[in-house]
């Protein structure tokens, strides 16, 4: 089981250069854990790509269908006060956005802060660095 950031989920849904990397990670271990807001972040990414015309309307519809299938199978970390406090600590320790701090806090909460032998799948450079510093093995790097 691996924790997946939105930056790694989107290429599972939309064909892009990173897709082969994350599909290989998924084949290796099909158990996905995500933060509660990941679905919203994915829809936001699809809408942005459609507005920018890098994704067709039909492509967005297909991406949403893939996302729906993933949502039915993944485990979702729900928001709570402990997670919020952890995210606040992470903002002091790392150069992260609020959304990324919540992603990393969710991952830490999921593994009970025991990061040894736990994987964090992300393409976000700052989040990747923070996850490494928190002890995760990062399962995706830039192609």
Is 143 within a domain? Answer: no
Rounded-to-integer distance, Cα 130 and Cα 125, Å: 9
Residue 139: per-residue pLDDT: 86
Residue 84: per-residue pLDDT: 97
Q: What is the pLDDT of residues 14-52, one digit of tens each?
A: 999 999 999 999 999 999 999 999 999 999 999 999 999
Residue 143: per-residue pLDDT: 45
Is 18 within a domain? Answer: yes
Is 55 within a domain? Answer: yes
Residue 141: per-residue pLDDT: 62
How many domains does the chain divide into?
Answer: 1
Q: Which of 48, 22, 142, 123 is nearest to 103 (CA)?
A: 123
CATH number of 58's domain:
3.40.50.1010
Rounded-to-integer distance, Cα 14 and Cα 139, Å: 19
Domain that holds residue 54: 2-138
The model's pTM is 0.93
């Amino acid at each position: 089981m691996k924790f997946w950031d939105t930056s790694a989920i989107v290429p599972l849904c939309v064909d892009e250069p990173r897709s082969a990397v994350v599909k290989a990670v998924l084949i290796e271990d099909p158990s996905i854990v995500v933060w509660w807001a990941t679905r919203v972040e994915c829809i936001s990414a699809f809408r942005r790509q459609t507005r920018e015309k890098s994704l067709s309307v039909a492509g967005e519809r297909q991406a949403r269908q893939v996302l729906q299938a993933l949502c039915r199978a993944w485990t979702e970390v729900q928001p709570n006060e402990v997670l919020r406090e952890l995210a606040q600590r992470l903002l002091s320790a790392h150069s992260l956005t609020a959304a990324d701090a919540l992603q990393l806090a969710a991952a830490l909460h999921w593994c009970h802060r025991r990061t040894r032998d736990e994987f964090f799948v992300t393409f976000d450079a700052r989040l990747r660095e923070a996850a490494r510093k928190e002890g995760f093995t990062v399962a995706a790097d830039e192609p």
